[in-house]
Amino acid sequence: MGELRIVEFKIFADKNQLGVAAAAQASSAIVTAIGERGQARIIAATGASQFEFLQALVGHSEIDWSKVEMFHLDEYIGLPITHPASFRKYLRERFIEPAGLTNYHLIDGQADPQEVCRDLGKKIAAAPIDIAFVGIGENGHLAFNDPPADFETEEPYLVVNLDEACRRQQLGEGWFPTFDDVPKQAISMSVKQIMKSRQIVCVVPDARKVRLSVTVWRARSIRRIRLRSCAATTTR
């Protein structure tokens, strides 16, 4: 029946409380991994859902960031790092530089996509991931795996097509000036690769995602998904 993992679903009054609580749990996992194995391997997400969480996480002075190796969840194909919607730009400004991370693997959306997938796939497969930070999109996507996602592929990274709902979310959050400006393809970590993580902290703020969060909780807990913690807000 597979390995049973603990699933925790926590609800907070607002996104700031959510970010602080999720950061405390993430910090504990990172410090534990470093203490047990000498380093921590993590996966970082981006997007509006991660703002408060990352801001709180980089403030945890007990983390020795020199012993942390970070992998990147997803990136648009063809988007330069200077673009406001670039997830490489996002991670550099909101996480890598504030934390002082030196060992990280960003997805180059302007390089050959298949070569990027192969290169990152080899690097991430070198050792288990200790903790993954993820969110859930308005259409239910995990990373850029829009439903119906491929749950079976063993490839760590994939080239994916972004559906209309996903692209409209990016427009609605203000990352692009028009719908036509939103890229149609991206490089994404696969669902199976994410689920290989020893622990997952899923940060899902905003009332617009409450119903989706409850649906995911009910379905995934029955299927015994590898979630250690899934957090959502209900008010604002």
Mean of pLDDT values over 185-209: 90
**147 vs 31, higher pLDDT:** 31
> Does the structure show a pLDDT above 60 at 229?
no
Write down the mean pLDDT value for the chain: 89
Low-confidence winner among 45-49, 95-99, 211-215 (lowest mean pLDDT): 211-215
Contact 183, 78 (CB under 8 A): yes
pLDDT, tens only, 59-74: 999 999 999 999 999 9
Annotated domain spans of the chain: 9-233
Interatomic CA distance for residues 47 and 45, integer angstroms:
7
207 confidence band (pLDDT: 50, 70, 90): confident
> Does the structure show a pLDDT above 60 at 95?
yes
CB-based contacts of 40, cutoff 8 Å, min separation 6: 29, 30, 31, 33, 34, 67, 68, 69, 130, 131
Contact 228, 8 (CB under 8 A): yes
Please tell me what DSSP assigns to residue 104: E
109 confidence band (pLDDT: 50, 70, 90): very high
CB-based contacts of 36, cutoff 8 Å, min separation 6: none
Which of helix, strand or coil describes residue 118? helix
> Does the structure show a pLDDT above 60 at 221?
no
Beta-ladder partners of 72:
44
Fold of 9-233: Rossmann fold (3.40.50)
Structure-block tokens of residue 235? 């008010």
Interatomic CA distance for residues 34 and 192, integer angstroms:
24
> Does the structure show a pLDDT above 80 at 46?
yes
128 confidence band (pLDDT: 50, 70, 90): very high
Q: What's the half-sphere exposure (Cβ side, CA atoms, 13 Å) at 224?
A: 5
Mean of pLDDT values over 99-118: 98
Low-confidence winner among 18-32, 36-50, 100-114, 138-152 (lowest mean pLDDT): 138-152
> Does the structure show a pLDDT above 90 at 147?
no
pLDDT for res 142? 87
Name the residue type at position 143. Answer: A
Name the residue type at position 45. Answer: A
Measured CA angle at 56 (ends 138, 8), to 5 deg: 55
> Does the structure show a pLDDT above 50 at 18?
yes
Environment class of residue 61 by beta-carbon count within 10 Å: exposed (0-12), middle (13-18) or buried (19+)?
Answer: exposed
Share of the chain above pLDDT 90, in %: 73
